[in-house]
Amino acid sequence: MDNLFIIDDDKHICVTLSLALDKLYSIRWSQDAQEGLAMIKEEPPDLVLLDLRIGRHNGIEVLKQILEIYPSLPVIIMTGYSSIKSSVEALKAGAFHYIAKPIEMDELRNLIAKALEHIHLQNQVKDLNCRLNAQKVQAAIIGNSPVIKDLLKLIDKIKDINTTVLITGESGTGKEIIARTIHYSSNRSNGPFEAVNCSAIPIPLLESEFFGHKKGSFTGADSSRKGKFEICSGGTLFLDEIGDMDINVQAKLLRVLQEKEISPVGSNEKIQVDVRLIAATNKDLKKAMEEGAFREDLYYRLSVITLHSPALRQRREDIPLLIQHFLNKYNAEFNKDVRGIEGAALRAIEQSPLRGNVRELENLIVRGIALAEGSLIRFSDLPSLSQEMATNLSRELAGCRLADIEKQTIMETLAFTGNNRTKAAQLLGITDRTLRNKLEQYRLQG
């Protein structure tokens, strides 16, 4: 039930309105302007009915004070001194509307309903904007390295150019994030964005997925269905792993790009579409062209603008920023409060090859958050990393003298733990005293 607040120095008016409206709304009222302001500040209502004259107080001034506290709160001015001048002044000051005394209750009820409907619609719009902003946040490219700065500059240059874009790069580098960033920063941002993984859809279904189909056009087509191109008209369609697309579907895709129209499977109907296409691949399309697996004309149509998604090893300085991003993202999902990562764990991640790029880093942090018992992800919370480090170390030291291996292991473990002897001893599986003796034996500083 919506809450209404009445400010009127006439007790009879307050009581009458309360009795007339109490079945529809929760009512509070005050005969004093300052008391009413204090009550509104303490417990904000959904709507205010405000008299234009409240004792010695001017209702317009009270209105301004209310809107200073709650700018979007609908206020209806009640006046026994109805005039064009006072009404215009009230509306200019921010009132939703005004009503003249003596008040017609049906008119007031309709006015209140309109005001509340207006504010509810405003709240829905705010909620929608929040969701859109959340989508944009998810689409944000995280990083401050030179290669990311250069990429962002290039995106800013091409975001509103209505042409195809080809994004190249290894798996896990965030090619879809780049596509979403282009879309949500472009003049198509209010249109739809759809992502299709060409390698995840069976070849016989690709054409239907892209162009739609009519009921009965093939076995299982129990109803007509729009394809991604029609759904995305006015927006952006992202085709990931386009190097895996069937050669016959490539020909039909090329025709759509040239003619900007589609025909659903099982139909001769021509449907005009306005779609910006962004494609991505981790394959060498030029090599695929030489092998006859990818059409040369489609390649040149797609690669009007080419962006490269850098591997994580090319921007290791971004790793701490990415880790914090994933902590923020997954803490709420797992109902955890992991605020950071200890130095040893961070150094292990920074030294890891991270062949899976950002996707591998994200998976590491997800596991770390899930296993963490305190507010920090520790090295022990990343078992896959410790195993990988042990494997790499054994390969590097194969064929070395035993004493050299022991000395090298102690040095690297101390460096890894930031010269923390206790942690180094724990990782080495020896006591603090044994480590101290080894440091003296090999004349190492620790």
| 120-129, 268-277, 357-366: least confident range | 120-129
Is residue 164 within 8 A of residue 301, CB to CB? The reply is: yes
Q: What is the pLDDT of residue 134?
A: 47
221-247 mean pLDDT: 92
State yes or no: pLDDT of 220 exceeds 80. no
Report how far residue 7's alpha carbon sits from residue 136's, in angstroms, rounded to the nearest whole number: 43
Question: Nearest-CA neighbor of 280 among 441, 165, 436, 428?
Answer: 165
State yes or no: pLDDT of 31 exceeds 60. yes
272-292 mean pLDDT: 95
Q: Given pLDDT bands bounded at 50, 70 and 90, which one contains residue 398? A: low
Q: Which class for 171: exposed (0-12), middle (13-18), buried (19 or more C-beta within 10 A)?
A: middle
Q: What is the pLDDT of residue 400?
A: 67
Q: What is the pLDDT of residue 92?
A: 84
**In the numeric block, which tokens belong to residue 160?**
């509103």
Q: Given pLDDT bands bounded at 50, 70 and 90, which one contains residue 127? A: low
**Selection from 83-87, 238-242, 259-263, 411-415 with the highest mean pLDDT:** 238-242
Q: What is the pLDDT of residue 81?
A: 62
| pLDDT tens column, 38-82 | 999 888 899 999 998 888 888 899 999 999 888 889 999 988 765
Question: Nearest-CA neighbor of 372 among 338, 340, 324, 339?
Answer: 338
List domains and CATH numbers for the chain: 3-127 (3.40.50.2300), 146-310 (3.40.50.300), 316-441 (1.10.8.60)
State residue 410 phi and psi, 5-degree precision.
-65, -45
State yes or no: pLDDT of 255 exceeds 90. yes
91-115 mean pLDDT: 89
Question: Nearest-CA neighbor of 227 among 266, 188, 254?
Answer: 266
State residue 270 phi and psi, 5-degree precision.
-105, 125
Is residue 232 within 8 A of residue 275, CB to CB? The reply is: yes
Percent of the chain with pLDDT over 70: 91
Q: What is the pLDDT of residue 130?
A: 52
302-313 mean pLDDT: 95
Q: Given pLDDT bands bounded at 50, 70 and 90, which one contains residue 137? A: very low
Q: What is the pLDDT of residue 72?
A: 84
State yes or no: pLDDT of 392 exceeds 60. no
**Cα diameter, the chain:** 103
| pLDDT tens column, 367-389 | 999 998 888 998 888 877 755 55
Question: Nearest-CA neighbor of 246 among 283, 286, 295?
Answer: 295
For the chain, the three-class secondary structure string (H helix, E strand, C coil) is CCEEEEECCCHHHHHHHHHHHCCCCEEEEECCHHHHHHHHHHCCCCEEEEECEECCEEHHHHHHHHHHHCCCCCEEEEECCCCHHHHHHHHHCCCCEEEECCCCHHHHHHHHHHHHHHHHHHHHHHHHHHHHHHHHHHCCCCCCCHHHHHHHHHHHHHCCCCCCEEEECCCCCCHHHHHHHHHHCCCCCCCCEEEEECCCCCHHHHHHHHHCECCCCCCCCCCCECCHHHHCCCCEEEEECHHHCCHHHHHHHHHHHHHCEECCECCCCCEECCCEEEEEECCCHHHHHHCCCCCHHHHHHHCCEEEECCCHHHCHHHHHHHHHHHHHHHHHHHCCCCCEECHHHHHHHHHCCCCCHHHHHHHHHHHHHHHCCCCEECHHHCHHHHHHHHHHHHHHHCCCCHHHHHHHHHHHHHHHCCCCHHHHHHHHCCCHHHHHHHHHHCCCCC
Q: What is the pLDDT of residue 399?
A: 61
294-322 mean pLDDT: 94
